[in-house]
């Protein structure tokens, strides 16, 4: 019977939002998040910065935001829950960064939505002849309606969104149908009124218009089949809206003289009046009013989920995660968001603040691209997105670089707003979230230079040397724990768990061999939710029991579920006082300055000797090749290989690859030293010294005559490897047989 063990943490009752949104509704919500001030208000202000080239600015902005859309699509399918960008940043970089991101995203969305409600006053004034000083009060009135609509339920919000988006899109298509044939080439010259600098400043200015494309990730917990519908919705809505923005702004620039357009904050009404007359203009004003309300509604829907997700993670007061008993909506955070928006509408210069908030949105998109890089490179076991961004990592690097450039073009003031939000986020974290036991993936597996830069160095060192923040249960029987000479973590990616276990048993010089099937889940998943026996663990138990009987191995098998795979393996080796930790390996050895994968982290911090086994399909081992640089703990390596050969009744060859220019005296001395070391081996063995200036090619060629190649860990990395990672182990990748790479501690 498989014994299952779990790392437990304290948690509150799991609360779930209802999954009720289909693909069409999600696309409508995403488009609704973009169909607002970006097309009904901003084109005129943008044209003032760059002239008739405003359409090109919108096109470039769409290209710049594409990496973030693809990255968020990938992240959302791995973490399909409410919270969106906040969740991704919190899981990748930790709760401190998550708190800052959550507060910043919440503020930027509600400020942008507030700006939409204030902007709709210009269209409302056309219909009701309302004095400009009273339009803000009407905006607050409609905000109250949005509040009620959101509390009553997500289905109702989605249905309203569908109707509004359909009306808005049809209206804009009609403008294109009648407006493009009437474009005056004279209005399109000069193309760039402020040169390239003006163009790219405009790109940064209109960038926020596309923010809604990723907004739906914040409601991933309420989307049906999110692994498929979420990326489809983001990509399709981005394509639709980029086409709308580009063609509508081209039509506006071609029909309205620049001197008029650059001061016009209701350009859709203006062009409708120009093309169709008074009543068509009124219809356009109506569409503008309901579309801007739609944008505000979408903003409330998404923004309210950020504090909700943060409260679920204990980064905000628990009252924030309260869900309405009847409608199953986060009522407290919806009310908080709307009340804050009301104050913004009534008392703040929303346009200016929204522009500053857009800078933080750019920063968040930079972080989103960084999240994908961190999660992929660290190889977190739980990170299994069903959709993967194409052209990785070039797409993400492009997104990071263009985001930095856009921040520069936005000017100095936006950096001050970013600093203010960072300070606010830190204050909230140290008041509410400091006690959280979670850590981000980067902090779990980050290299020490990254920890020094991103976290307090002193705390980082404590983290490395202390036990995890959660209690480790006594899941290993005391007698077994004290006698386990080898621990073999099984992570689910092994070609053959039996072969890996057999190799571990062969290395073992003690009595017991401990195999542990480890399943890592993200911090947001409660461990009790995966406590049931699973077929894979039962299958492994049965197969390894058969191996133990056939090979006469004293083997114990356990199954563990954890939030931190590296700390779990560390604790296993520490509790069992094992001599060796043996793991499967794909030949990669990331060791970059900022991130390393779990294996890289373990190589540095594990207390025992460490073996990585690259299984190339060899199932019968009769000949072993030990390839070493002379003088590198040769006796210890020979002792390990000798045990392996005795287990398999195999022979081994000690190989030294030396430069072709080596002298005969050096060669003779080296051979005598190697033969002297082999005198203590009980297995049949011999020495081979091979002259070659290309050690990789030499070892690859010779390995064809053997079943197992045993290597040592590289002595040191050069500067390029330290900065960018060691990537593939070339000896392992070029070997014709299976490979065992040993790290023997001093």
What percentage of the chain reaches a pLDDT higher than 70? 75
Q: Is the pLDDT of residue 495 over 50?
A: yes
> Which range has the top average pLDDT, 91-100, 438-447, 496-505?
496-505
pLDDT at 709: 94
Q: What is the sign, positive or negative, of the torsion defined by CA atoms of 349, 350, 351, 355?
A: positive
Rounded Cα distance, 39 and 291, in Å: 10
CA-angle at 730, arms to 728 and 735, nearest 5°: 120
pLDDT winner (highest mean) among 94-98, 228-232, 403-407: 403-407
DSSP string computed for 293-339: HHHHHHHHHHHTHHHHHHHHTTSS-GGGG---TTT-S-HHHHHHHHH
pLDDT above 90: residue 643: yes
Task: Decide if pLDDT at 738 tops 90.
Answer: yes
Buried b (16+ CB within 10 A) or exposed e, 567-594: bbbbbbbbbbebbbbbbbbbbbbbbbbb
- Report residue 56's pLDDT band, with 50, 70 and 90 as the boundaries: very high
pLDDT at 71 over 60: yes
The number of C-alpha atoms within 13 Å of 45 and in the hemisphere containing its C-beta is 18
Q: Which residues contact 664 (CB under 8 A, 6 or more apart)?
A: none
Q: What percent of the chain has pLDDT over 90?
A: 16
| Token representation of residue 11 | 């948690």
Please state whether the predicted TM-score (pTM) of the whole model is above 0.85: no
The span from the CA of 460 to the CA of 201, in Å, is 40
Is the confidence at residue 61, as pLDDT, over 80?
yes
Most confident listed range (101-105, 263-267, 435-439, 486-490): 486-490
Q: Are 208 and 112 in contact (CB under 8 A)?
A: yes
Nearest to 250 by CA among 32, 62, 57: 57
In the chain, the domains with their CATH numbers are: 23-433 (1.20.1740.10), 448-584 (3.40.50), 618-746 (3.40.50.620)
Query: CA nearest 81: which of 522, 529, 527, 565?
Result: 522
**Rg (Cα) of the chain, in Å, rounded?**
31
Mean pLDDT of 463-469: 34
Tell me the backbone φ, ψ of residue 704, rounded to 5 degrees: -60, -20
C-beta separation of 82 from 220 below 8 A: yes
441 contacts 92 by C-beta, under 8 angstroms:
yes
What is the pLDDT, as a whole number, of residue 606? 62
Task: Return the structure tokens found at 717.
Answer: 């990395």
Q: Would you call 651 helix, strand, or coil by DSSP?
A: strand
Four-residue CA torsion sign, 133, 135, 136, 141: positive
The per-residue pLDDT for 118 is: 78
- The mean pLDDT value of the chain amounts to 77
Q: Could you read off the pLDDT of 160-205 as tens digits, one per residue?
A: 667 777 888 889 999 999 999 999 988 998 889 888 888 988 888 8
Q: How confident is the model at residue 567 (pLDDT cuts 50, 70, 90)?
A: low
744 contacts 609 by C-beta, under 8 angstroms: yes
Residue 54 pLDDT greater than 80, yes or no: yes
Residue range 502-508: mean pLDDT, rounded: 92
Q: How far is CA 259 from CA 44, 198, 266, 388, 429, in A?
A: 10, 17, 14, 46, 48
Question: What are the angstrom distances between the C-alpha of 69 and each of 75, 153, 288, 532?
Answer: 10, 27, 26, 36
Q: Are 499 and 483 in contact (CB under 8 A)?
A: no
Is the peptide bond preceding residue 298 cis, with omega within 30 degrees of 0?
Answer: no
Instruction: Answer for the pair 86, 105: CB distance below 8 angstroms, yes or no.
Output: yes
pLDDT at 4: 42
Whether residue 80 has pLDDT greater than 60: yes
**φ, ψ at 522 (rounded to 5°):** -65, 160
């Amino acid at each position: 019977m498989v014994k299952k063990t779990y790392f437990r943490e304290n948690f509150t009752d799991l609360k779930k939002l209802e999954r009720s949104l289909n693909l069409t509704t999600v696309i409508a919500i995403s488009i609704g998040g973009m169909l607002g001030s970006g097309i009904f208000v901003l084109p005129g202000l943008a044209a003032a910065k760059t002239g008739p080239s405003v359409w090109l600015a919108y096109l470039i902005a769409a290209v710049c935001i594409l990496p973030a859309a693809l990255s968020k699509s990938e992240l959302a399918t791995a973490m399909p829950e409410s919270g969106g960008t906040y969740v991704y940043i919190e899981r990748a970089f930790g709760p401190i960064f998550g708190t800052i991101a959550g507060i910043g995203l919440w503020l930027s969305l509600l400020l942008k939505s507030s700006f939409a409600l204030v902007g709709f006053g210009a269209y409302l004034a056309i219909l009701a002849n309302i004095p400009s000083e009273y339009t803000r009060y009407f905006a607050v009135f409609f905000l109250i309606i949005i509040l009620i609509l959101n509390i009553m339920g997500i289905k109702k919000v989605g249905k309203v969104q569908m109707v509004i988006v359909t009306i808005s899109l049809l209206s804009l298509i009609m403008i294109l149908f009648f407006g493009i044939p009437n474009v005056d080439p004279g209005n399109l010259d000069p193309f760039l009124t402020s040169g390239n600098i003006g163009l790219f400043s405009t790109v940064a200015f209109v960038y926020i218009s596309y923010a809604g494309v990723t907004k739906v990730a914040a409601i991933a917990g309420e989307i049906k089949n999110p692994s498929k519908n979420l990326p489809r919705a983001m990509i399709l809505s981005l394509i639709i809206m980029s086409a709308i923005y580009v063609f509508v702004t081209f039509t506006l620039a071609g029909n309205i003289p620049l001197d008029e357009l650059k001061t016009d904050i209701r350009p859709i009404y203006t062009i409708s009046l120009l093309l169709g007359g008074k009543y068509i203009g009124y219809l356009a004003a109506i569409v503008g009013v309901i579309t801007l309300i739609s944008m505000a509604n979408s903003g409330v829907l998404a923004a309210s989920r950020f504090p909700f997700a943060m409260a679920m993670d204990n980064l905000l007061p628990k009252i924030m995660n309260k869900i309405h008993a009847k409608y199953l909506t986060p009522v407290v955070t919806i009310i908080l968001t709307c009340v804050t928006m009301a104050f913004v509408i009534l008392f703040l210069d929303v346009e200016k603040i929204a522009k500053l908030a857009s800078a933080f949105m750019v920063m968040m998109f930079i972080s989103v691209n960084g999240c994908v890089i961190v999660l992929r490179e660290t190889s977190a076991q739980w990170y299994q997105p069903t959709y993967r961004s194409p052209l990785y990592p070039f797409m993400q690097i492009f997104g990071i670089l263009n985001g930095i450039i856009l921040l520069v073009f936005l000017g100095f003031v936006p950096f001050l707003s970013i600093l203010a939000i960072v300070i606010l986020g830190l204050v909230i974290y140290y008041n509410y979230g400091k006690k959280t036991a979670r850590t981000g993936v980067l902090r779990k597996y980050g290299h020490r230079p990254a920890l020094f830069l991103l976290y307090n160095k002193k705390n980082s060192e404590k983290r490395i040397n202390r036990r995890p923040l959660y209690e480790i249960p006594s899941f290993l029987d005391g007698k077994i724990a004290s006698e386990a000479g080898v621990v073999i973590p099984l992570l689910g990616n092994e070609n053959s768990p039996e072969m890996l276990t057999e190799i571990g048993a062969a290395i073992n010089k003690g009595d017991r061999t401990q195999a542990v099937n480890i399943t890592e889940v993200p911090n947001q998943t409660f461990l009790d939710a995966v406590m049931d026996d699973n077929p894979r663990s039962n299958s492994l138990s049965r197969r390894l029991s058969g191996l133990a009987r056939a090979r006469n191995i004293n083997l114990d098998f356990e199954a563990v579920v954890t939030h931190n795979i590296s700390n779990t393996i560390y604790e296993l080796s520490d509790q069992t006082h094992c001599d060796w930790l043996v793991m499967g390996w794909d030949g990669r050895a990331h060791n970059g300055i900022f991130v390393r994968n779990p294996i890289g982290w373990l190589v540095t911090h594990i207390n025992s000797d460490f073996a990585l086994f690259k299984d190339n399909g060899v199932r019968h081992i009769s000949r072993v090749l030990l390839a070493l640089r002379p003088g590198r703990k040769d006796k210890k390596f020979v002792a390990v290989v000798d045990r392996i050969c005795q287990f398999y009744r195999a022979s081994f060859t000690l190989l030294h690859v030396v430069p072709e220019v080596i002298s005969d005296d050096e060669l003779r001395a080296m051979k005598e030293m190697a033969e002297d070391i082999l005198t203590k081996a009980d297995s049949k063995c011999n020495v081979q010294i091979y002259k070659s200036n290309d050690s990789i090619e030499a070892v690859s060629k010779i390995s064809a005559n053997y079943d197992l190649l045993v290597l040592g860990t590289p002595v040191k990395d050069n500067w390029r490897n330290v900065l960018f990672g060691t990537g593939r182990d070339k000896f392992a990748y070029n070997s014709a047989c299976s490979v065992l790479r040993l790290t023997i501690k001093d």
